[in-house]
Amino acid sequence: MALKQDVLSSQTFAFLDLETTGGNSSRDRITEIGIRFWRDGAVIGEWQTLLNPDTRISPFIEQFTGISNELVADAPRFEDIADDLEAPLEGKVFVAHNARFDYGFIKSEFRQLGRLFSAKVFCTVKLSRGKAVAGTIRRAQKL
């Protein structure tokens, strides 16, 4: 138990949530990023921005996310915030519900800029389904 507590108190976790123009990270783009940083059980920071995806947001996605073309028209593009996003994520554990989706989009956006993005990832979907529990301690030891 002490090992788990040491890992939880020594790591900073970046809980990230995205909104996008669709479900395909190769074709669709990010419209909003929200991050809450946690360390030792406490919130230590937040970061949020809307993004102009340089593509139309469909009526379905507008209704689903509440983010409209008008809302993001004057928002920065990913290339404008890439450095501001990468710096606070460096060395953090990337946590998301369905992390494959969020992490895939972040990696894709950086890839489109000719940059690599890599992070330790923890998926709360896997945790909620019990798939992450067995390997959690092994992965925690590697953090």
CATH of residue 106's domain is 3.30.420.10
Q: How many domains does the chain have?
A: 1
Residue 22 neighbours by CB under 8 Å, 6+ apart = 28, 58, 61
- Rounded CA separation 76/72 (Å): 8
Residue 90 identity: E
Please identify which residue in the block is written with the tokens 């992070």: 119
Confidence of residue 37 (pLDDT cuts 50, 70, 90): very high
Per-residue model confidence (pLDDT) at position 125: 83
How far, in Å, CA of 37 to CA of 13, rounded? Answer: 6
pLDDT at residue 142, rounded to an integer = 56
DSSP, res 46: E
Is the pLDDT assigned to residue 98 strictly greater than 70? Answer: yes
Is the pLDDT at 132 greater than 90, yes or no? no
The boundaries of the domain holding residue 40 are 2-142
pLDDT at 129 over 80: no
How much is the average pLDDT of 21-45?
96
For residue 99, pLDDT over 80 is answered with: yes
